[in-house]
């Protein structure tokens, strides 16, 4: 099943539990839609910008904020991105303004930087990472992380910095979650361009092994569903270990999901066979059952039959999956929707 179905459901649920208010919400709106014709904006804003360039755009932004002129702010945000363009020094100047100011000015500056080519300049990447790591205001940290998600790739040193940040217990939880998401989204960007996956997944699993927060561990594992990549080698082994040993049922269930994309199907089934007898939670056992089918299709039926012998609650599942495959169904995307659900389990249904 395509990974997009699973993406970031955990982050959304965690943000809800954090009780984040609109004042602290992460503003990651893209610059989208048609640009406003210049004649629709107040001439005074354009005059300020024309006279003073980058400083003129800043002055116009401040004037529009004071007047609560949302149409002008949208135009000026787009215009600021255009003025920055490929100029890394201009991007760094705007980031200095962002560092020293508050909302709504701060996030407007960082959204504009995010939409430029300059955002991928090494100096700009370093400055965004520094803001994310050390700014005293979590709003600045989260906005910097959202801007970092536009990178095509992370060099090893930057990936290490963000991994270290994701493992820091002193950060606000929202900042930690967005750090993990940033690694995952850049992993996806890099994978789509080059097929590179393992360096990022290795670091995400390092976070999953080292964090004391179940939600962070679960999200770090979930990022493995972003690219349409096949998990194998050490990553698969680490996921199998997490499925056996992590104290949180949600983390164990997420490990089962990501393992179902394993390249070595037999290794995945062996890991599920090893985990099922030791697992005490019905819902995690149900995850193992359905992800075994997702991983191997009808090849998983002998394993499901064994699971049904170990736990009578899964006899009907085995019977129904077998009937669907015997009837000629081959695609899990078609099999699972036709399957009745007999277990009262939260989370998500794929």
- List, in sequence order, the alpha helices (H) in the chain: 9-18, 43-67, 70-84, 88-100, 105-114, 122-134, 138-148, 156-166, 173-194, 198-210, 214-222, 233-245, 249-259, 265-275, 282-296, 301-310, 315-326, 332-335
pLDDT of 282 over the 50 cut: yes
pLDDT of 251 over the 50 cut: yes
In percent, the amount of the chain with pLDDT more than 70 equals 84
DSSP string, 49-62: HHHHHHHHHHHHHH
Residue 257 gets which letter from DSSP?
H
314 or 9, which is more confident: 314
pLDDT of 245 over the 50 cut: yes
255 or 40, which is more confident: 255
pLDDT of 12 over the 60 cut: no
The pLDDT confidence band at residue 107, using thresholds 50, 70 and 90, is: very high
pLDDT of residue 320: 96
CA distance 220 to 201: 9
pLDDT of residue 33: 42
Tell me: the pLDDT tens digits for 301-329?
999 999 999 999 999 999 999 999 999 98
pLDDT of residue 348: 42
pLDDT of residue 242: 96
Cis peptide before 104 (omega within 30 of 0): yes
Tell me: the pLDDT tens digits for 109-165?
999 999 999 999 999 999 999 999 999 999 999 999 999 999 999 999 999 999 999
257-286: average pLDDT: 96
Partnered with residue 262 across adjacent β-strands are 231
Lowest mean pLDDT across 194-203, 298-307, 332-341: 332-341
pLDDT of residue 41: 47
CA distances to 123, 134, 163, 216 from 137, in Å: 22, 9, 20, 20
Q: Write the CB contacts of 320 (distance below 8 Å, at least 6 apart in sequence).
A: 339, 340
* Residue reference for tokens 């149900």: 286
pLDDT of residue 9: 42
The pLDDT confidence band at residue 290, using thresholds 50, 70 and 90, is: very high
CA distance 227 to 152: 14
Lowest mean pLDDT across 35-44, 188-197, 255-264: 35-44
216-224: average pLDDT: 95
Tell me: the pLDDT tens digits for 23-77?
344 545 454 444 444 444 454 555 555 556 788 889 889 999 999 999 889 989 9
- Provide the sign of the torsion angle of the four alpha carbons 239, 245, 251, 257, taken in this order: positive
Q: Write the CB contacts of 239 (distance below 8 Å, at least 6 apart in sequence).
A: 205, 221, 224, 231, 255, 258, 259, 271
What value does the mean pLDDT of the chain take? 87
In percent, the amount of the chain with pLDDT more than 90 equals 72
pLDDT of residue 169: 83
- Nearest C-alpha neighbor of 161 from the set 195, 114, 198, 127: 127
Q: Output the six-digit token pair for 165.
A: 């940040």
The pLDDT confidence band at residue 21, using thresholds 50, 70 and 90, is: very low
pLDDT of residue 160: 98
328-333: average pLDDT: 86
pLDDT of residue 3: 42
pLDDT of residue 228: 82
């Amino acid at each position: 099943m395509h990974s997009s179905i699973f993406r970031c459901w955990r982050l959304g649920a965690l943000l809800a539990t954090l009780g984040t208010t609109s004042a602290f919400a992460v503003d990651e709106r893209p610059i989208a839609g048609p640009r406003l014709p210049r004649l629709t904006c107040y001439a005074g804003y354009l005059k300020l910008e024309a006279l003073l360039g980058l400083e003129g755009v800043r002055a116009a932004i401040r004037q529009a904020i004071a007047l609560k002129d949302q149409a002008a702010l949208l135009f000026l945000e787009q215009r600021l991105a255009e003025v920055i363009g490929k100029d890394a020094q201009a991007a760094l100047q705007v980031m200095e303004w962002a560092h020293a100011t508050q909302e709504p000015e701060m996030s407007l500056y960082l959204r504009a930087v995010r939409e430029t080519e300059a955002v991928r300049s090494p100096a700009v990447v370093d400055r965004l990472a520094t803001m994310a790591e050390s700014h005293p205001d979590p709003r600045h940290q989260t906005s910097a992380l959202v801007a970092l998600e536009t990178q095509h790739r992370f060099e090893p040193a930057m990936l290490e910095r963000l991994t270290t940040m994701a493992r820091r217990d002193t950060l606000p939880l929202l900042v930690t979650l967005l750090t993990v998401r940033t690694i995952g989204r850049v992993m996806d960007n890099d994978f789509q361009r080059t097929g590179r996956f393992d360096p990022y997944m290795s670091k995400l699993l390092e976070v999953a092994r080292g964090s004391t927060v179940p939600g962070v561990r679960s999200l770090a594992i979930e990022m493995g569903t972003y690219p349409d990549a096949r998990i194998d080698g050490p990553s698969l082994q680490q996921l199998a270990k997490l499925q056996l040993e992590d104290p949180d049922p949600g983390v164990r269930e997420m490990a089962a999901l990501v393992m179902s994309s394993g390249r070595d199907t037999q290794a995945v089934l062996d890991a599920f066979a090893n985990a099922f007898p030791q697992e005490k939670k019905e819902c995690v056992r149900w995850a193992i059952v359905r992800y075994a089918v997702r991983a191997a299709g009808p090849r998983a039926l002998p394993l499901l039959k064994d699971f049904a012998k170990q736990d009578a609650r899964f006899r009907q599942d085995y019977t129904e999956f077998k009937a669907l495959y015997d009837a000629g169904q081959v695609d899990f995307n078609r099999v699972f929707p036709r399957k009745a659900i007999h277990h009262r389990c939260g989370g998500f249904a794929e």
